[in-house]
Amino acid sequence: MEEKSTNKIAVFSIDVEEWYHLEYFNNFKTDRSKSVMDGLYKFIKIVDKHNIKASFFIVGELIQTLLQTIKKLDIEGHDIGLHSYLHKRPVVQNINEFIKDTEDTILEIKSILPNNSFGYRSPCFAIDRQRLEEIIKLGIKYDASKITQKEHPLYVNLDLDGFEKLKKDIYKKGSFKVFEVSTIKFLGINIPIAGGGYLRIIPWPLYFWLLKKYLKKSNFINFFIHPFELSDANFELPENTPLITKFRYNYNRNKVERRLNKIIELLKENGFIFKTFSQI
């Protein structure tokens, strides 16, 4: 049964990954000396400005280079989560590869925060029920990888049979919770209304209208972003990168910071409070 509550909750999160972790560049030779981590620090400034605690899902191989930042975020009350070790989609790994990838990520983060427990978000929202059960066995406390958007070729429709629906987009089995990305149906398609490339590519007046429409009938929103979308770094992408990939990567990146601030202001005007996944 859905929980009856007047509380309006917004969760802001960022998948802490480099530009070369994006699925678009899997088959390209990439220059790893080029970084978009300025986008991470811009996100931190935005949430600090609005006094928001956020959830940070970190790719394992970046943990040591971000050691001091992660410790500071933890001390300040932000939520630290895991985003795989090498940013490989779980469903393209066999089960043993996936378990090792997750174990390696846990060991890496435990070397910095030994007393913490952690949540998880799959790269590209591509986790299935079998792999979900494995992260539960490994002691992960929640998952934020569910999305209902069948049109996207990389996403996976996560089966939650046996989970109790606590409220819209929040599910529970035992002490383990799953959080779904917020979507709204428009012209017969489920559109993620909470960030990512959709924030950049959907025309802003339409996006903002859909968001206001969503907020009228929902008391929970699960918002996500990536460092490259906030980064000011402007470098050449790998040679032979398709035009469609260049468009997906670059389009409206210079508008994301302003749009994020407007969204936060709209949420506050509508009575939403901001929490991390762990706080929920």
- CB–CB of 5/268 below 8 Å? no
The b-or-e profile of 210-234 (16+ CB within 10 A means b, else e) is: bbeebbeebbbbbbbbbbbbbbeee
* DSSP-H helix ranges across 6-65: 38-49
- CB–CB of 171/40 below 8 Å? no
Length reported for the chain:
280
CA dihedral of residues 111, 136, 78, 263 (deg, nearest 10): 140
Ramachandran angles phi, psi of 239, nearest 5°: -60, 140
Strands (E), the chain: 9-16, 55-58, 79-82, 119-120, 142-146, 164-167, 170-173, 176-180, 183-186, 189-192, 220-225, 273-274
* Model pTM score: 0.94
What span, in angstroms and rounded, lies between the C-alpha atoms of 27 and 154? Answer: 15
Rounded to the nearest angstrom, the gap between the alpha carbon of residue 46 and the centroid of all alpha carbons in its chain is: 16
Ramachandran angles phi, psi of 177, nearest 5°: -115, 150
What's residue 81's pLDDT?
97
Per-residue pLDDT of the chain (280 residues; tens, 9 = 90+): 344 445 899 999 999 999 999 988 988 899 999 999 999 999 999 999 999 999 999 999 999 999 999 999 999 999 999 999 999 999 999 999 999 999 999 999 999 999 999 999 999 888 999 999 999 999 999 999 998 866 665 666 888 999 999 988 999 999 999 999 999 988 888 888 888 889 999 999 999 999 999 999 999 999 999 999 999 999 999 999 999 999 999 999 999 999 999 999 999 999 999 999 999 9
Classify residue 1 as exposed, middle or buried by CB count within 10 Å of its CB (0-12, 13-18, 19+).
Answer: exposed
